[in-house]
């Protein structure tokens, strides 16, 4: 397992020189609701680079339409491109109870898929962040994102402080009926270099694998055989390829080693 933190300008200025060497990854907030970069993004990115800490980003979404979701995703892509970041994992944070919950599963699924298409088309990886309540209440169609990495928040000690060195009780790990990549186990973490609370996480996969390089997977091509394959089959393949940066309607796929 790998342990890490996720941070934003809510943590203020972080002293990355004091961040422990055993921090295996960091997830940085990308853009704010305004569409502008998180106030500490540049400093946090530089801190990760200097300490060789694998990093990814997250975007808290407020998008209630596919058009708004595409706009949010384009803002994230523009930010990453402006810093020369390639293949970076973008975690799509789906948890807003006021805006997203009332949409219903079908509409919210459509919004998330619109964001995914923009992000993967730009060559970035796409993952989903949800609170356990979102998962349990089936806010959207999780099956529509089969193969997509999942980051779930489940806190089990309330607002009691947990040190970074503390090991979370694995019996509280979120449900495992789909592949769980990251567990955010507290929002009240304490770690050197950060004043106040910080979210602490465990990854069950090496975070270095979150950055996808399509070339590593060989040559990918598609053949249109729509008269043979059903739409459901085509969409299932599309979801499997999305983490590799391949988007669009895919009817048939052959991977050449």
> Token digits for 41?
């993004």
Closest CA to 153 of 124, 125, 126, 180: 180
User: 141 with 244, same domain?
Assistant: no
pLDDT of residue 251: 41
pLDDT at 134 over 50: yes
pLDDT of residue 55: 97
* Helix 105-121 / helix 66-82 crossing angle, nearest 10 deg: 30
How far apart are the C-alpha atoms of 120 and 90, rounded to whole Å?
Answer: 9
User: 13 with 42, same domain?
Assistant: yes
For 20-55, the pLDDT digits (tens) are: 999 999 999 999 999 999 999 999 999 999 999 999
pLDDT of residue 256: 41
How far apart are the C-alpha atoms of 139 and 145, rounded to whole Å?
Answer: 13
Give the pLDDT band (50/70/90) at residue 175. Answer: confident
pLDDT of residue 217: 36
User: 36 with 139, same domain?
Assistant: yes
User: 20 with 127, same domain?
Assistant: yes
The answer to whether residues 234 and 108 touch, using CB atoms and an 8 Å cutoff, is no
Closest CA to 91 of 123, 115, 109, 74: 115
User: 88 with 158, same domain?
Assistant: yes
Tokens 């293949």, located at residue: 87
Which residue segment(s) compose the domain that 11 sits in? 2-212
When the pLDDT of each residue in the chain is averaged and rounded to a whole number, the result is 86
pLDDT of residue 237: 52
Q: Which of 46-60, 126-140, 141-155, 203-217 has the least mean pLDDT? A: 203-217
Q: Which of 69-73, 99-103, 157-161, 220-224 has the least mean pLDDT? A: 220-224
Domain count, the chain: 2
User: 178 with 107, same domain?
Assistant: yes
Give CA 51 to chain center in angstroms. 22
User: 68 with 93, same domain?
Assistant: yes
In this prediction, what percent of the chain has a pLDDT beyond 70? Answer: 81
How far apart are the C-alpha atoms of 14 and 196, rounded to whole Å?
Answer: 11
User: 127 with 196, same domain?
Assistant: yes
Other Cβ atoms closer than 10 A to 158: 8
How far apart are the C-alpha atoms of 126 and 244, rounded to whole Å?
Answer: 9
pLDDT of residue 177: 64
> Token digits for 195?
């004043």
The answer to whether residues 247 and 120 touch, using CB atoms and an 8 Å cutoff, is yes
User: 251 with 182, same domain?
Assistant: no
- CATH of residue 192's domain is 3.20.20.80
User: 254 with 127, same domain?
Assistant: no
Give this prediction's pTM: 0.82
């Amino acid at each position: 397992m790998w342990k890490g933190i996720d941070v934003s300008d809510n943590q203020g200025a972080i002293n990355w020189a004091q961040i422990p060497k055993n921090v295996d990854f960091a997830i940085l907030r990308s853009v704010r609701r305004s569409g502008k970069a998180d106030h500490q993004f540049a400093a946090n990115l530089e801190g990760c680079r200097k300490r060789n800490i694998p990093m990814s980003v997250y975007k808290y979404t407020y998008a209630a339409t596919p058009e708004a979701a595409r706009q949010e995703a384009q803002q994230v892509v523009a930010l990453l491109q402006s810093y020369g970041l390639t293949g970076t994992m973008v975690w799509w944070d789906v948890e807003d109870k006021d805006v997203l919950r009332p949409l219903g599963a079908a509409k919210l699924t459509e919004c998330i898929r619109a964001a995914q298409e923009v992000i993967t088309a730009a060559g970035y990886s796409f993952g989903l962040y949800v609170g356990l309540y979102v998962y349990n209440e089936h806010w959207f169609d999780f099956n529509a994102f089969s193969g997509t990495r999942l980051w779930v928040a489940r806190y089990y000690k309330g607002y009691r402080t947990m040190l970074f060195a503390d090991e979370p009780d694995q019996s509280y790990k979120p449900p495992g009926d789909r592949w769980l990549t990251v567990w955010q186990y507290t929002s009240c973490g304490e770690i050197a270099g950060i004043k106040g609370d910080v979210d602490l996480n465990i990854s069950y996969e090496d975070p270095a694998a979150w950055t996808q390089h399509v070339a590593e997977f060989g040559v990918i091509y598609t053949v249109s055989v729509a008269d043979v394959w059903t739409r459901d089959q085509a969409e299932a393949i599309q979801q499997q390829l999305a983490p590799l940066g391949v988007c669009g309607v895919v009817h048939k796929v052959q991977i050449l080693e």
